[in-house]
Amino acid sequence: MIIGYLITMCVLAAINNVLHFRNYGRNTHLYSLLFFALFICCAGLLLLALSQTADGAIMAVKMSYAGSAFLPFFLFCAILQVCHVRFQQAYQLVLFLLSFAIFGMVCTIGYSDLYYKDFAYAVASGVGNYVVQNYGWGHDLFNVMLLVYLVANVSIIVHTFFKKKNVSYKSLFALALIETSTIASFLLARFMENDMLIMPAVYVFDQFLLLYICERVKHYDISESVLRSLEAGNANGYASISTSEKFLGGNEIAYNHFPELLECRVDHTLPNKPGVVQFFKEWANEIRQGNVIHEKEFETGDRHFKCTVKKSGNSDRDYATLFKIEEDTEYHRYVQMLGSDNNRLQQLAKSNASQIHAIQEQMIVNMASMVESRDSNTGGHIKRTSKVVAILTEEMQRDPSFNLPKKFYEALIVAAPMHDIGKIAIDDMILRKPGKFTDEEYNIMKSHAAKGAVIVENLLSSIEDPYLVQIARNVAHYHHERFDGSGYPHGLAGELIPFEARIMAVADVYDALVSRRCYKERMSFSNANEIIMGSMGTHFDPRLKQSFVNCREKLEAYYRQVTH
């Protein structure tokens, strides 16, 4: 009877593994490990019941512990993920190693008394075979680990229920049910001294609850939905090459456009082959030599392509060149068909493009204003910081030491309203909080910089000049970095911070100082000036010091006008 029951539980556990992998396994590797650990626990108990010798029984016990030793750790990590709780990776590694240590002691059964001081193999007709054991101190350590995990898990679930509203209470209830049912069943099994009667059903029950939680997580994971939507709507090819001319790969669209890329081995130097491979290789070499051309066009066969390029990486020495490939064969043929009317239509297109560009700029400002309307702390901040950037860059253009093209300043002024656009992805409870943030809330708020860079990229990459997109992305991503490296999100320092972000940082802080917020009154111009000047070289780029001094009167005149 017990054998049939155990077989049924193993089959159900296996089916649940398949269901999870089929529906959720692509993006939830942690849950896949958890499902597999539960299956291993069930399979170990079945093998124990089927064992014919003491050695076979001990091997079955070890197999069961291969799941049990890691199950608490995987469940703890799943609870952290569902409850959006940050836990340092170093501590997770310690807990993972502890599970390995427990399993290592389990493997000594039959050779030492670390885990089992002694054991006896028992045969029970019709009920299944089992092991009677006298536990060692290793098993006591396992019990202590279970107790610590229980306290931690329950604490996290309770804290999340009362303190966080961005987690489904149904998911929390399912997690609490997993904890209570598993622990209660474990204690009951220990009291009855027979794990195989109770625990397999509990493991399968836990899997059903985990399937439910995975469905809830998938349902509420907006970022995953957005990524799937963007991926499905993408029509561009991408290929990447390292600084040493090694091919780093491409997406499916790039391989479809250029089958010769399939002959290029990833992480190997690009071969000398005519066509698109040579085109990418020569362009990457030009960029490495400092001749940065952001856009080129080329033809292959009867097809015409437009290609833009960007560098991605943490430094000027270690980066990858990413090529974005758009096919515009139809447009190119259409232009060629225009014949004598080509010039007139091109002028019309430019006129229309100017109008469209103006509309796009207004849309950007409106979107940024929409973000600002959600933030009770920064009313009018976007408009004022944009003006500060305009005043500051006007002064910088008079200084020949900067030697920057006019296009740079124009792009920066357009990009300035987008510096805080990532706040659209921050929860209202944090964004509109009038008081001081907790450490956890502050970490969430800081994520707006990286999120803003992604939003700018997705919003503008297909409709704007790549040069403007790069400026806007850098402004959103790095305007909270500090010149001494103490800022966020990456702790960049000095020249590693894009120059446009260093300019934006001055405008952002200056407005915060001299403007009224719900939690403070506006600071006097003299005090604000003292703080800005004192922060040159620590918070701000000292190269901007003289330009800020020169435009101080204009800034103060502007703020007197808008604050009275």
pLDDT digits (tens, 9 = 90+) for 117-175: 887 776 655 545 566 678 889 888 988 998 898 889 889 988 888 887 767 777 778 78
Distances (CA, A) of 12 to 63, 183, 203: 18, 21, 10
Q: For 513-529, what is each residue's pLDDT tens digit?
A: 888 766 667 888 999 89
pLDDT of 499 over the 90 cut:
yes
pLDDT of 347 over the 60 cut:
no
Residue 306 main-chain phi, psi, to 5 deg:
-110, 135
Q: For 380-389, what is each residue's pLDDT tens digit?
A: 788 888 899 9
CA distance 37 to 203: 9
User: Which one-letter amino acid corresponds to residue 334?
Assistant: Y
CA distance 543 to 272: 44
Q: What is the DSSP string of 219-280?
A: HH-HHHHHHHHHHHH---EEEEEETTSBEEEE-HHHHHH-GGGGGSPTTSBPP--TTHHHHH
Q: For 408-465, what is each residue's pLDDT tens digit?
A: 998 898 888 888 888 877 777 777 776 677 888 888 888 888 888 888 887 776 666 7
| Confidence tier at 497 by pLDDT (50, 70, 90) | very high
Q: Specify burial of residue 435 (Cβ count, 10 A radius: 0-12, 13-18, 19+).
A: exposed
Q: CA 152 from chain center: how many Å? A: 25
pLDDT of residue 195: 66
CA distance 4 to 11: 11
CA distance 515 to 355: 34
Mean pLDDT, the chain, rounded, equals 79
pLDDT of 91 over the 50 cut:
yes
pLDDT of residue 267: 78
Measuring CA to CA, which residue among 409, 353, 48 is closest to residue 199? 48
pLDDT of residue 222: 42
pLDDT of residue 504: 93
| Confidence tier at 362 by pLDDT (50, 70, 90) | low
pLDDT of 89 over the 90 cut:
no
Percent of the chain with pLDDT over 70: 78
Least confident of 60-64, 160-164, 178-182, 560-564: 560-564
Q: For 207-236, what is each residue's pLDDT tens digit?
A: 888 888 777 665 554 444 444 544 555 567
Region 397-407: mean pLDDT is 89
Region 346-362: mean pLDDT is 52
Cβ atoms of residues 325 and 305 within 8 Å: yes
Q: Quick check: bond before 405 cis, omega within 30?
A: no
pLDDT of 50 over the 80 cut:
yes
pLDDT of residue 100: 93
Region 193-197: mean pLDDT is 66
- Where helices occur in 24-70 by DSSP H, the ranges are 29-50, 54-68
pLDDT of 536 over the 50 cut:
yes
Query: Do β-strands 116-122 and 237-242 pair in parallel, antiparallel, or remain unpaired?
Result: unpaired
Contacts of 548 (CB under 8 A, 6+ apart): 392, 506, 532, 533
| Model pTM above 0.85 | no
Q: What is residue 399's three-state secondary structure?
A: coil
Region 91-106: mean pLDDT is 92
User: Which one-letter amino acid corresponds to residue 180?
Assistant: T
pLDDT of 549 over the 90 cut:
yes
Region 263-269: mean pLDDT is 81
pLDDT of residue 96: 92
pLDDT of 470 over the 60 cut:
yes
Q: What are the residues facing 242 on neighbouring strands?
A: 320
Distances (CA, A) of 458 to 294, 306, 465: 18, 18, 13
Q: For 57-80, what is each residue's pLDDT tens digit?
A: 889 888 988 888 898 898 898 888
pLDDT of 551 over the 70 cut:
yes
Cβ atoms of residues 483 and 540 within 8 Å: yes
Q: Per the structure block, which two tokens stand in for 257?
A: 């456009």
Q: How many helices (H) and strands (E) does the chain have?
A: 23, 7
CA distance 411 to 401: 19
Q: CA 162 from chain center: how many Å? A: 26
Least confident of 306-320, 366-380, 464-478: 366-380
Contacts of 162 (CB under 8 A, 6+ apart): none
pLDDT of residue 188: 72
Q: Sheet containing 237-242: which strands, arranged edge to edge?
A: 247-250, 237-242, 319-327, 303-313, 295-300
CA distance 235 to 327: 9
Contacts of 495 (CB under 8 A, 6+ apart): none
CA distance 421 to 426: 10
Which one-letter DSSP state was computed for residue 28? Answer: -
Q: Specify burial of residue 441 (Cβ count, 10 A radius: 0-12, 13-18, 19+).
A: middle
pLDDT of 263 over the 90 cut:
no
Region 533-554: mean pLDDT is 92
| Confidence tier at 376 by pLDDT (50, 70, 90) | very low
pLDDT of 512 over the 90 cut:
no
Which one-letter DSSP state was computed for residue 495? Answer: G
pLDDT of 371 over the 90 cut:
no
Q: For 320-336, what is each residue's pLDDT tens digit?
A: 778 888 887 776 666 66
Q: What are the residues facing 250 on neighbouring strands?
A: 239
